[in-house]
Chains A and B, each alone.
Chain A
Amino acid sequence: MSRKIDVGKRILSANERYALKNSQLLGEQKKLCLNMISSPGSGKTTILARTIRDVKDKIKIGVIEGDIQTDLDAERIKATEAPVVQIETGGSCHLSAAQVSGALEKLPVGDLDLIFIENVGNLVCPSAFELGESGKIVVLSATEGDDKPVKYPAIFAKSKVLLINKIDLLEAGAQVDFDVERVRADARKLNKGIEIFPISAQTGEGMNRWYDWLAESTKNLQGD
């Protein structure tokens, strides 16, 4: 004999409470916060370092760096002179909202226009944990293959922007089989409103449209 009880509770409510706290803090101060997600090696840190240097006169950027081990990425961001806080997850495959809450306390949020969270390199787990961000940015590089939106739909369905990085490799005649139009079409099937910017953080190609989007998004938020 047994008895059944309906519960109807959200399982990740502890994480969601911190996410709400983060989003309230950022909302009150009108700060844009973007959660950057991709597999390892897609170029997240290179994109961030270049973006920080190229827009520094217009947008003040701070960074929360998530890594399983080491502070190598934080060192690369530090070289740009942007404020950065490192979170070493010690094996965990994603950042949690509580970790981001602690990092936000260490950043000079009041002096910034935009906070990037560089999540742990992983195309699956980080997409399931809300951090209180204003939006997610997914990065896919040309060497990873053009089938990724179909194989990892969650992150493409949830992101505001898709950055297709390393497009310089396509034009150099390298042996990279990657159809930008296929990625575009598959991502749009999951997410009609997603902004898609093909870029090369190495050569700077296509980066201006990304910078324009960042400038407009920070302006829209602060202008409210």
Chain B
Amino acid sequence: MHETMVAESLLATISDEARKQNAKPVSAKISCGMLNAVNDKVLCFAFDAIAKGTSCEGIRLEIEHKLMQGQCKKCNERFDFKLNCPKCPKCDNEEFDLLPDAPLLLEQIEFEME
């Protein structure tokens, strides 16, 4: 449900860029870590609803989810953290650090050419 607030912030950020570029946005790429708990369908639904009547109406959102990364304390290997198998895939060590989760980022906007 917090996707509505994410959608509002996203709309403000894209509208801002669109004004600077003086162009109509067609699509936007977003990335987020798993701890942001963003559901694609809910975010797209919320964004469509609030973007009606703005310069961002009808734009397509692409959302990339990034897995959490672990780093092995023994061999330093960085790996995708999986809750059902929490150990280093290279040396099987169970001692590792969880690296900070990826933030919610607006990565790229695609604009129409005039």
**Which of the 9-residue segments A12-20, A42-50, A55-63, A204-212 touches chain B?**
A12-20
Q: Say if the beta carbon of A11 comes within 8 Å of chain B.
A: yes
Q: Is the CB of A12 within 8 A of B104?
A: yes
Q: Is the CB of A4 within 8 A of B109?
A: yes
Per-residue CB contact flags for chain A residues 118-138 toward chain B (1 = under 8 Å, else 0) read 000000110111000000000
Nearest A residue to B111 by beta-carbon distance?
A: A3
Give the dominant DSSP class at A's interface: mixed
With A125-B1, A128-B35, A191-B98 given, is the CB distance from A8 to B107 under 8 Å? yes
Residues in A whose Cβ lies below 8 Å from that of B110: 2-5
**Which of the 9-residue segments A31-39, A77-85, A104-112, A151-159 touches chain B?**
A151-159
With A15-B9, A150-B83 given, is the CB distance from A5 to B111 under 8 Å? yes
Per-residue CB contact flags for chain B residues 34-57 toward chain A (1 = under 8 Å, else 0) read 111110000000000000000000
Partner of A154, one of B23, B34, B107, B113: B34
Q: Is the CB of B37 within 8 A of A5?
A: no
Distance in angstroms from A14 CB to nearest chain B CB is: 6
Partner of B2, one of A3, A6, A93, A150: A93
> Which residues of A from 170 to 221 have beta carbons under 8 Å from B?
186, 189-192
